[in-house]
Amino acid sequence: MLKLGVIGTSWICRQFIDAALETGKYELKAVYSRSIQKGQEFVADFSDVQIFDGLTEFVNNIEIDLVYIASPNSLHYQQAKAAIEAGKNVIVEKPAFSNPTEFEEIFELAAKKKLFVLEAARHIHDTAFAVIKSFLSDKTILSANLTYAKYSSKMAALLAGELPNKWNPKFSGGILADLGVYLIYWTIAQFGKAESVDYQAKLLSSGVDVSGHGILHYEDFDVSFFNAGNLTSYLASEIYTDEGTLVLDSVAGTGKAAFVKINGETEEFEIQTAENPLFDEADAFADILENANQEKYAVLQALAQQVNQTLFSMRQKARIVFEADK
């Protein structure tokens, strides 16, 4: 049984906890929050869970052997480093780290300590992802267009003159580091690392992107994408092949998929989705951690590194600089 400690009290923390407990492979033992009262309110539905408002005391708690981190992006590095130095395995919400420098340091430290660092990109663990990957495996890819644009709950505050973490370079914010990471992860997990990338973005006065168009260039095809937080798009994502077009309602968690053949015939996919969208991810991570599955871990680590480098390269193209880069 994995003894879980959680950094954060957001909705995603609760969703991961619920998914982890549903697998039957985790025990929630501790929560770190800057506010003891908020932490107590967060764990009101659970019993025997310790609350900490000090990071050092939390990561050194002998009751936990695994730390899940879902804090603002820029805090991941410091918190992951503290957990690893305390001998704890780590699961970090995407994007795990702000840039390749942070990424390499954390993974080198984890390797030295013989610990695991896993980036929580839940959609690549969904059953639907594997179904689609298998379907595309014998197809010739001609091109792809991916879309993930959703009006952000933080736009009102931004328009009112505030600067929420999501739109703040101090916290490694921006839409590419929010919704765009889903698109990048999906693309690289499906097709491998791109030969080169481009990204053009609409920048806020803070210096981070509120929307943007990107391209991942492969040897024989390109994958184009659009991500935005200042509007909502209802467009599907499409992958074009020599036999027809694969239409997905979303690549950030596919619920519906259909293949429209060149002759117009349509093949619907049967997509099985877990009630909790983080269940498959939590279960996959438990398998790696409980069985010390180095082979699966190496695949995920290489994928995470490619995604991290791609995000960084795209930010460079758009001249987006985080405080962490300095």
Task: Split the chain (326 residues) into runs of 10 and give each run's mean pLDDT.
Answer: 97 97 98 95 94 97 97 98 98 98 98 98 96 97 98 97 98 98 98 98 98 98 98 98 98 96 96 93 98 97 98 98 97
pLDDT at 272: 86
Show the tokens assigned to 256. 């519906």
Q: How far apart are CA 106 and CA 165, in angstroms?
A: 23
φ, ψ dihedrals at 22, nearest 5°: -65, -30
CA angle 187, 193, 194 (to 5 degrees): 85
CA angle 35, 40, 42 (to 5 degrees): 95
Pick the closest to residue 140 from 243, 260, 257 (CA basis). 243
Q: How far apart are CA 216 and CA 195, in angstroms?
A: 8
Domains of the chain with CATH codes:
2-117 (3.40.50.720), 128-273+308-325 (3.30.360.10)
Q: How far apart are CA 59 and CA 294, in angstroms?
A: 24
> DSSP strand E in the chain: where?
2-7, 26-32, 50-52, 66-69, 89-93, 117-120, 141-149, 196-203, 209-217, 222-228, 237-241, 244-248, 257-261, 266-268
pTM for this model (two decimals): 0.96
Residue where the block lists tokens 């053949």: 261
